[in-house]
Structure 1
């Protein structure tokens, strides 16, 4: 039987792999194939080859092995070798556009190259491994736009939508700082960049690489421990609209303050996400942020500052549209009134997980009344205490599903 109309979306365990690979010709129309819990005993490269060549319409293929901590009791259930598939000549699959592999050891670059030759039109490649990339992948995948080569974690869910097609070449890159040296510097049209495992040791190479990426719009550092990158490099990135720092190291904070204070009139930054700051550093950064009039979307976690510092920033940021304060101070009536004066504010999320001070119920009402005419406004509050819970019901009646309130035990 041939299932011509089945286009895919499969999440299978290891026990189904043999059955699937033997019956792939029954599904000639499959476009999306995702195999999870593939036992490490399988030859991944041959499994990829078999899937790509036996499914001529396949566009997206994920192969994710069993985690090292995942045990299977059936010792006799030994996966068969698929290595024989690599001995035959295979025709290229011109439809393949997205390949995602997670490997528990170093990449066999020659065998990976054989796989990539079968996907000449690949635009997205995600490889999780323990080795650096080989720059020949850019010759093998001339249409590559999104590359994730990241041994620690995976950000494929954060990949931007396919809207950045003004330029050819690599547009999204997520990788470690040690891998940057293998990325050809002629890929200067990158618009979204994630660098993980940043260290002082590789800072010069990172700076040299960033210096070639003048068109980058979005950067995530995970983490960044540098005073020179925000001080020297960020001012040169005139298109930068989004900056995400997974750890706000004190040195980075000093560089960020310098960046904001000395280049505020030229900054185009619209989104700033700060994580794991210390109080002194965050207070300084918030003060400097008042000079940046382009910031519309701000997320801070934890917001380990006093309410007065938060108030001061909000008063100087009338352009704010989205504000997310995680692990922040409890919000008083006065602060809610100030928030209500932000005419562009559409999304407000406040979480005070450990603060035992009461959140102002009257403040919630004041803010809701101010925003009733804005149908896009949504409010989310999580706190330990509120001084008057009746205002919660009031907000729910006015905003409906656009209001979320959680009392934490």
Structure 2
């Protein structure tokens, strides 16, 4: 039998590091949930399914993803439409699709569909890419951003926008265009503030600039997060011993602010270990991008890797007060099935792009 059909396409370094950080996530979740074994078991099921799904998705040739990129994007649009018209409203937002007893966040697929489609659209275009191609790409990215923003979900919408813009940047976008776009963004900031942002989003930004304005209201979350992280010191207070966490001063300990739990209970050294694993994952992805077989694979790996990095950076900056609070989970650590599954799918695609090589004729 041809050796081509015997090989398992899997990057062992990336697989092991993701397995390690997912396992650590279960450990941290047990403490963050005050010992709720039910939450940990549910998350464990997601991790097991996700790891299997990641291995399965890494097997097809990258050309399969390129040919199906348009269909994948249309399917994501369909799910967003179903969410908009039929999704249940939870806390004033429609973000979920329910099929029987299973529910998932449809916008998570958009974070994958946008960069893959743009990579397929741009990979064979002349460099530098032409203005027509840039404008078509930007229109598509803005449309996808707006669909997610309308749920409303500004955090995920920003990640969707970044996922497309990263691919556009890696495709050869000129620095003059980037500079001009930044100036345009600054000029349009009053319109964004008054028209696009919801009242609660404006409140979060105002709280960011003046966190002491409402310490028992809008500023409570970020103040408690800073206290938790700062009180951890070098070695932390110990597993299950964080006062901010265990006495319920810290909000959303299982999702958005689980990094604060880690900082309080495991200190600087625990945080350093976690960030080191994240950095290894990113560096490995960049290596796979540089050694990928063609431009399409490099664009997909680069786009998905930078999207993962943006998700990570936004969460870390949010919990220490460097960015306004948005709903952004910590990758592979925070509780939640939809975001976790999308991460495993993304890294399955990355491994497919990084491990398949062109076979030379014998």
- Per the TM superposition, whether the score is higher than 0.5 is no
* Bigger fraction of residues in helix: 2
* TM-score, normalised with respect to structure 2: 0.30
* Structure of larger gyration radius: 1
* TM-score, normalised with respect to structure 1: 0.27
